[in-house]
Amino acid sequence: MSASLPPKGMAGMPQPQQQSHLPPGGGPGQPPLAPQGALRELSPVFLCRIGQETVQDIVTRTMEIFQITRATQLPNGVTQSQAMYQDRFGKLQEHLRQLALLFRKLRLLYERCMEMTFDLHEGPAELVPYGAEETWSVPVEPCSPAVLQERRDVLEKVRQKNQEMKTLMDQMRNLLWDVNAMLSLRK
């Protein structure tokens, strides 16, 4: 149930990342590495794994963009060197370009997985609609008095613990207020 990837989609993708996703070969119980033409035959599970790693790359790139923008000072009258500005701008442009490529790769992987697993998806005709008039009654057996008493005891213990936790949180909040007040007076 595997089909070859479209050559148009993976041609623009970075090759070093793809090669790191290839299954290792030559080990015991594993076939040796296949020739380049056979590497295009990938299973949907393997494509999903590549997609997961692509999402991780997208998150990493996005975090790097936020770090660069956090480190950038707003123009508040202080002049920065033009070279530093151009360097950060270049980095941002490169990260954004890589993000666009990663999103395109992710879209291609998604579409390919959907094509390969089309027969596994349920159609809407197979779903049973919810009808409010069709309610099933579930018989409920009456609980024994011992079970009811145990339930009451457990609920009471939970209420007591919740009250103790609320008291501790209030005490901690007051302590923090006092510490912050003393620290502000020191300044």
Cβ(60)–Cβ(99) under 8 Å? Answer: no
Both tokens of 180, joined, read 């912050």
Per-residue pLDDT, averaged over 69-85, amounts to 73
Q: What is the pLDDT of residue 81?
A: 74
Q: What confidence tens digit (pLDDT) does each residue in 94-113 have?
A: 999 999 999 999 999 988 88
pLDDT at 93 over 90: yes
Percent of the chain with pLDDT over 90: 35
DSSP string, 60-108: HHHHHHHHHHHHSPP-SSPPPPHHHHHHHHHHHHHHHHHHHHHHHHHHH
Q: Is 153 exposed, middle or buried (0-12, 13-18, 19+ CB in 10 A)?
A: exposed
Q: Where is pLDDT greater, at 62 or 138?
A: 62
Query: SS3 of 52, please?
Result: helix
pLDDT at 133 over 50: yes
Q: What is the pLDDT of residue 2?
A: 42
pLDDT at 168 over 60: yes
Q: Where is pLDDT greater, at 11 or 44?
A: 44
What are phi and psi for residue 42, nearest 5 degrees?
-120, 145
Per-residue pLDDT, averaged over 172-180, amounts to 92
In angstroms, how far is the first alpha carbon of the chain from the final one? 70
pLDDT at 28 over 70: no
Does the pTM surpass 0.85? The reply is: no
Whole-angstrom distance, CA of residue 101 vs CA of residue 111: 15
pLDDT at 150 over 80: yes
Q: Could you write out the three-class secondary structure of 133-165?
A: CCCCCCCCCCCCHHHHHHHHHHHHHHHHHHHHH
